[in-house]
Amino acid sequence: MFQSIRPQATRLTALVTLFVFSLASYQCGKKSDDPAPSGSNSAVVGTWKFTGFAARDAKGVVEDVTSATFALLPCFSAIRLIFNADGNLTAGGGQACAAAGEFVDTSGISKWSTNGTKLTITDPDGTKNEFQYEVSGSTLKLIVPDDPAKPTAEASILTLTKA
């Protein structure tokens, strides 16, 4: 069983790490020219915690790899992403785990915005990372395609719940 999950969990781990590294490139005090999100983005505003991870294959089959991901990266259960109404994005909670410093810098501020089903996180240095997103009640799903040119192909699905 773990043999079939391990390659997907490893790919998912790499994508989750990439996502969190986008948060880790914060620089304290630097301001961005990106506008604050509008009222249509209000569903994203709040504090979110990672609660699920899945891998979607090229055939559209989704496999839950939450247990494997939390086993490989237990610190993700402590991390909180805080999407503020003013367009600022911060991360917190990772300091509770000694290894979290490898994945998240909780000392800085980035920017976020949405456009349709796309969530964009802009680091203070101007680097933009785009994700598909869905909000349903207190659940936020971030879909990270392996190939951004083919958003319906293989992807990692990160599930966050309002904290």
3-state secondary structure 76-120: HHCCEEEECCCCEEEEECHHHCHHHHHCCCCCCCEEEEEECCEEE
CB 131 within 8 A of CB 143: yes
Query: What is the model's pLDDT at position 87?
Result: 93
Query: What is the model's pLDDT at position 101?
Result: 45
Two structure tokens written together for 5? 């999950």
| Number of structural domains in the chain | 1
**Residues forming a β-bridge with 115:** 118
| Residue 134: alpha-carbon gap to chain centroid | 12
Residuewise pLDDT in 10s, the chain (163 residues): 223 334 454 555 555 554 554 444 433 334 444 444 444 568 999 999 999 999 999 888 999 999 998 888 787 788 888 999 999 998 877 665 554 444 445 556 889 999 999 999 887 777 888 889 999 999 999 998 888 777 677 899 999 999 9
Cα–Cα distance between 29 and 98 in angstroms, integer? 25
Dihedral angle over CA of 143, 47, 120, 129, nearest 10:
-70
This prediction has a pTM of 0.72
Cα–Cα distance between 88 and 115 in angstroms, integer? 16
**Residues forming a β-bridge with 90:** 82
Query: What is the model's pLDDT at position 45?
Result: 96
Three-state DSSP class for residue 152:
coil
Question: Residue 37 maps to which CATH number?
Answer: 2.40.128.280
Q: Residue 77's domain spans which residues?
A: 2-162
